[in-house]
Amino acid sequence: MSDHSHELPFWKKYIFSVDHKVIGIQYTVTALLFLAFGFGLMLVMRYQLAYPNQPLPGVFASVLSEPVVGEVTVNEATGETGKVLTGDGYNAFGAMHGTIMVFLAIVPLAVGGFGNFVLPLQCGAPDMAFPRLNMASYWTYLCGGILMLFGFFVKGGAANSGWTSYPPLSLIATTGQTIWLLGMVILITSSLLGSVNFIVTAVQLRVQGLSFFRLPFFVWAQLVTSFLLLLAFPPLEAAGLLQLMDRVAGTSFFDPGGLIISGVERNSAGGGSPLLWQHLFWFLAHPEVYVLILPGLGIIAEVIANNTRKPLWGYKSLVYSAIFLGFMSFIVWAHHMYLTGMGTTLSTFFQATTMIISVPSVIILTCLVISLWGARIRFNTPMLFALSFLPMFAIGGLTGLPLGLTASDIHLHDTYYVIGHFHYVVAPGTIFAMFAGVYYWYPKASGRMMNEWLGRIHWFGSFVFINAVFMPFFFLGMAGVLRRQFDQTETLHGAAVQGLTVMATWGAIGLALAQIPFVINFFWSMFAGQRVGANPWKATTLEWTAPSPPPHGNFDAVPVVARGPYEYSVPGESEDFSMQATA
Amino acid sequence: MSATVIPYDVKPHPLTGMYNGKFGIWLFLASEIMLFGALFSTYVLLRVGAPEGTWPIAGSPTTRGDNILQVPLAALNTAFLITSSVTMVLAWANLKMGSFKKGQQFLLVTVLLAGAFLVVKYFEYNSKLHHYAVTFNEHFDRDGVESKSFKGLTQAGTEKTIHYLWGHVEETKKDADGAIQSYLFMPDHDTSHGGEGHEPKAVEIHPAEIARMTTFGPGGSSFLGCYFVITGLHGLHIVGGIVVMLWFLLTGSKMWKTQPDKYANRIECTGLYWHFVDLVWIFLFPVLYLL
Amino acid sequence: MELLAQAADFGTYGKWMPPNLSVRGGAIDQLIEILHYFMAVLFVGWGIFFVYCLVRFRSGKGGSAQYHPVKGKASKYAEVGVAIFEAVLLLGFSMPVWGEYKNDPPPADKRVEVRAIGEQFQWNFHYPGPDGKFGRTNAKFIDNVSNTIGLDPDDPNGKDDIQTIGALHLPVGRPIYVRITSKDVIHSFAIPTMRVKQDAIPGMEVPVWFQIKEGATTANLLKSKSMNEDFDTAKTNWYRVRHLVASKDYADKSGQIILAEGAGIGLSRDAGEKKLKQLREAGIDSINMHPENPLEVICAQLCGNSHFKMKAQLYTYDDAGFEAWKKSTVPEVIEEF
């Protein structure tokens, strides 16, 4: 089998590949680039927030141009000028930061990257069920991503109505919004292709002996995620289509009619509903939260089981909780809309479901932390990321409580508290899980280890600075500072806590610097990392049975599974790990 | 092609009873249900929220879609699609029984019926896109042609009177710079109020008198927006089906020679998709045209 | 001076939450406080267990991990406990407060009613005038300077109506009923100090109601201790004090006044930094300042490129003051910025 793959020309093997591992790596690298880009947008915004209307530092000023930045006089005496972010530029960066991070970085990294690379291996499959569909999914994603970026170059700049694109604001926005909608439709198509593939693979391609309850938790997490993508994304696709029609075909799905835009009545038939968009959008976007977090939890479970050298505590509870989370995530969406004028009946329902959905999350976190009891914890880089994930994810989860209850939401709604809450879930949460995953599976993908000390420096810097960025957000939110504000010092309560914003900005700069060791490590280890065999971490799941890196077709012989996924330190065994595959 | 052999590519999996492709297409259809479900929900929400008298378009006597849509054409289309579902099944059944030629023939009939559906749809769309609704700034009365009026409430509860006429633009007069000077407008027979027994006659309308002029296209009303988006998306699904079937008609023999089972499976999957597309129409027809 | 002591209790900007000046806002603050204690207890308890595990079960200690899972119900009890406490928070705290905010509007004859109409990028307010009836509005009457809400000049109910732009005048101690809508995009009517926030959605009119605490008039607040803050001229920057004015005169050694009572530090950053430098050079190391106007209405929903600047001043009066303000307005239109 492996001989055969050598006959493929380079472009077929590495560019237009149908091999799930190559596609997984393509997804990972592309998504990491988008992650860096989205982070860059954020740095520019943070600079403006900390130092409102002051010229951007040279590195940003040189690459940015109209309409994102405008020229201002820095020094009246000398006539020296500098470039300052504009209100539209800030809004465009904000909208694109959100869109890129969610749809172009985290989901493709978590699902497209890790899911693609690891899931078939953990199922003992030779590839995904539909390899060519898999390739189509990646290329569709790339096209959608490039189209999104193209938005920056159209007249008026990229979409600037927030990543939520609430109409009517988005209906009267510049061309960038149309590009955004087209990009979203393409990205959603890519996700659908991917999720069908994942589900079929996980259900049909499990090798002999690998019953559902012997699947690693990671596979379960991907399976639930895929169902969420499959069922939650189409309504957004429909909504995107409707908004597109509103913008280009003169319909009025989200336009109630009689809007006076800058003194001129908007020409439309009216009769639409701005809230309809919010319902359709959040019907996707709440399950999307679990799409962002579940694969991360899957990675954390793998890394923790491996480095505690003992079975995961409550494996079945974890699985049931993930499934329950998936179901519940479809009926909590309106908790994003408490302040649209919702009455008591509806709000009670959505508050109740929101409280209920917190229970499985608590169970998952409890299972993971109780797994530490009686362990023999190895503190390597993936484990450090996984362990620091736990408390930060807990902060993210807990701070959801005041937002989920309508009464406290009145004060905290649309403030930095919200930003802090979901960033703690996704940034110190999912992104830390992604880093854990990169360090954990790098030897499998490349056949070489990443450098441990560079990894630890990377972890330490990231851990310190990511908290420096996001912890102030809770205090800013308490003080009532709103999100999506170009300059918070325009308000009394905002000006009073400007210092916290400055702190967060310096945290972000530190966080950027802390990624340097990772970048060096990533490329350096590709050529100079220590070579390893099939199972460097002494792990149990099926991917560690295949050679590192696995050839096209994955396994030398089709594995047969004899036991559960986390049989570590089984009494009476000579080694402290018993692999799933026999022989 | 690669040497990798994917399990259950052709044979059904013991747990699900389906080969990979069939399972995949069912999942895809599940997502399609969510897609059309969201659009149907949009339709329901907008209809429920529409101020009285504005559905399907301001001034309609009832809220039924057939005020402005042609039911006979849609009924004909329904017949086309239902028949095509039958021929699709026959195509698959013949392939399963080993008769490639008959199978391909039925597939061709399916494609032709789908094409006929699109032709009818074209005529429906076309007549809508050339039918105009004009809303006037105030009551209009010229050369014996009077505007109708309709008193409605906006969503915010303010009262609003709409003066309107439906009809066709016969001619658009422009000045030397290309700016529109007037329209020669032929009102519909039933809205012209030209008096009993008189032939409706065209009237000149100036842009300054017009509050809003729109075709019965997507921008005409919320209902028409729903109509065009849902039937348009459905039409795209038909086009997609035609492309896939044509592909199999042109290239099927090659696969049939080496992997007849796999080919029959592919037609089965296409069929599942096709039945779904028909089913959507079976919902669309009563919802948009009859209710 | 009696009032000064009373007003001092209303709190200050920049410390935890903004001052709460509404009668019901306290319930929200209380819920937020309880929630954070609850979260802290959970997090600390969980954290202690976590850190203990990390230390006790580190691999350096040798030995092997335990295969057999811990048997114990502690985690179950903890989970059930969390669920029950959440139910208590929901049923006992959140729902009653929300119900009060939503279900129980003050009677029409007792409340002060005002319409708030959002537009890019200003708040327009519409008072019914002495007859208590709002005049009809229609888009065709809108004039961007004199009639931003499109009040119908032919409607007798509208003859005595009052319009303001960017300034909301309200009495303390009486129920306030605000009907919120928008002319263009979605805005959100928010007054942080009143713990009020409601989206302004075009095509809909949604009411909110609240009551301002007795004594919390603008005049009292300006005199209150909590609003009058000392700033170290060497440490503070212009952003921090840009909306503040001096509480008394500041003069250099020669007696020349550098910063007069009631004067701001400067409208632009350049001017502000210069003024601060001037104060430092004159040997003034501390200045006492208070907000030019302590209360603001803001927009809490992204509404375009100047969203961050969309705000209105809120002026509060006792009954006599409110009546005086109403009398001072000419019946047609008043403008304030």
Question: Distances in Å between the alpha carbon of B230 and those of A564, B36, B227, B235?
Answer: 48, 8, 6, 8
Subunits touching A (CB < 8 Å, at least 3 pairs)?
B, C
Subunits touching B (CB < 8 Å, at least 3 pairs)?
A, C
A488–C contact, CB cutoff 8 A: yes
In a domain, C103, yes or no: no
In a domain, C31, yes or no: no
A288–B contact, CB cutoff 8 A: no
Q: A430 is written with which tokens? A: 């999912």
Q: Are A93 and A107 in contact (CB under 8 A)?
A: no
A172–C contact, CB cutoff 8 A: yes
C99–A contact, CB cutoff 8 A: yes
| Chain A (66-105) residues lying within 8 Å, Cβ to Cβ, of chain C | 76, 86-88, 90-91
Per the CB < 8 Å rule, is A479 touching C17?
A: yes
Which CATH number fits the domain that encloses residue C261? 3.90.105
Question: Distances in Å between the alpha carbon of C105 and those of B202, C108, C210?
Answer: 56, 8, 9
Which residue in A133, A189, A200, A208 has the most chain B C-beta atoms within 10 A of its own C-beta, making it the best mutation to test that interface? Answer: A200
Q: Are C101 and C23 in contact (CB under 8 A)?
A: no
Complete DSSP assignment for A473-489: HHHHHHTTPBTT-S-GG
Q: Are C244 and C290 in contact (CB under 8 A)?
A: yes
What structural domains does chain B harbor?
20-130+222-290 (1.20.120.80), 132-215 (no CATH)
What kind and span of H or E run contains A181?
Answer: helix A176-204
B83 burial via Cβ count (<10 Å: 0-12, 13-18, 19+): middle
Count of domains in chain C?
A: 1
ipTM: 0.93
Count of domains in chain A?
A: 1
Q: For residue A448, give its domain range.
A: 2-50+86-255+268-582
Q: For residue C281, give its domain range.
A: 228-291
Structure letter (DSSP) for residue A169 = T
Asked whether the whole model's pTM tops 0.90, one would answer yes
Q: Quote the minimal CA–CA distance from B156 to chain C in Å.
A: 5
Question: Distances in Å between the alpha carbon of A208 and those of A215, A559, A562, B13, B81?
Answer: 12, 8, 9, 12, 43
In a domain, C112, yes or no: no
In a domain, A337, yes or no: yes
Which CATH number fits the domain that encloses residue A373? 1.20.210.10
Helix (H, G, I), strand (E, B) or coil at A264: strand
Question: What are the pLDDT tens digits along chain A (583 aa)?
Answer: 344 445 677 777 778 899 999 999 999 999 999 999 999 999 999 999 999 988 898 888 888 888 888 888 877 778 888 899 999 999 999 999 999 999 999 999 999 999 999 999 999 999 999 999 999 999 999 999 999 999 999 998 899 999 999 999 999 999 999 999 999 999 999 999 999 999 999 999 999 999 999 999 999 999 999 999 999 999 999 999 999 999 999 999 999 888 888 888 888 888 899 999 999 999 988 999 999 999 999 999 999 999 999 999 989 999 999 999 999 999 999 999 999 988 888 888 999 999 999 999 999 999 999 999 989 999 999 999 999 999 999 999 999 999 999 999 999 999 999 999 999 999 999 999 999 999 999 999 999 999 999 999 999 999 999 999 999 999 999 999 999 999 999 999 999 999 999 999 999 999 999 999 999 999 999 999 999 999 999 999 999 999 999 998 899 889 999 999 999 999 988 888 999 998 6
Per the CB < 8 Å rule, is B158 touching C138?
A: yes
Per the CB < 8 Å rule, is B27 touching A199?
A: yes
Name chain A contacts of C64, Cβ cutoff 8 Å.
309, 376, 569, 576
| Chain A (285-324) residues lying within 8 Å, Cβ to Cβ, of chain C | 308-311, 313-314
Name chain C contacts of B157, Cβ cutoff 8 Å.
205
In a domain, A61, yes or no: no
Q: Are B264 and B92 in contact (CB under 8 A)?
A: yes
- Report CA dihedral (C168, C171, C177, C180) to the nearest 10 degrees: 0
In a domain, C159, yes or no: no
| Chain B (141-170) residues lying within 8 Å, Cβ to Cβ, of chain A | 154-156
In a domain, A71, yes or no: no
Q: Quote the minimal CA–CA distance from B219 to chain A in Å.
A: 4
Between strands C162-165 and C167-171, the pairing is unpaired
Q: Quote the minimal CA–CA distance from B191 to chain C in Å.
A: 27
Question: What are the pLDDT tens digits along chain C (337 aa)?
Answer: 344 444 456 778 888 899 999 998 999 999 999 999 999 999 999 999 999 999 999 887 777 888 877 777 777 888 888 888 888 888 888 888 888 888 889 998 889 999 999 999 999 999 998 888 898 888 878 888 888 888 888 888 888 889 999 999 999 999 999 999 999 999 999 999 999 999 999 988 999 999 999 989 999 998 888 888 899 988 888 888 999 999 989 988 888 888 999 888 888 888 888 899 989 988 888 999 999 999 999 999 999 999 999 999 999 999 999 999 988 886 544 444 4
* Distance separating alpha carbons of residues A568 and A581, to the nearest angstrom: 14
* Distance separating alpha carbons of residues B227 and C328, to the nearest angstrom: 55
Short-list C222, C271, C267, C270, CA closest to C248: C222
In a domain, A77, yes or no: no
Per the CB < 8 Å rule, is A200 touching B24?
A: yes
What's the pLDDT score for residue B138? 84
Tell me the residue type at A344.
Answer: T
In the block, which residue shows the tokens 């001043």?
Answer: C313
Name chain C contacts of B156, Cβ cutoff 8 Å.
181, 203-205
Question: Distances in Å between the alpha carbon of B39 and those of A166, B219, C163?
Answer: 18, 17, 42
What's the pLDDT score for residue A583? 60
A235–B contact, CB cutoff 8 A: yes
In a domain, A70, yes or no: no
Short-list C212, C120, C108, C220, CA closest to C168: C212
In a domain, A274, yes or no: yes
Handedness of CA A310, A312, A314, A315 (dihedral sign): negative
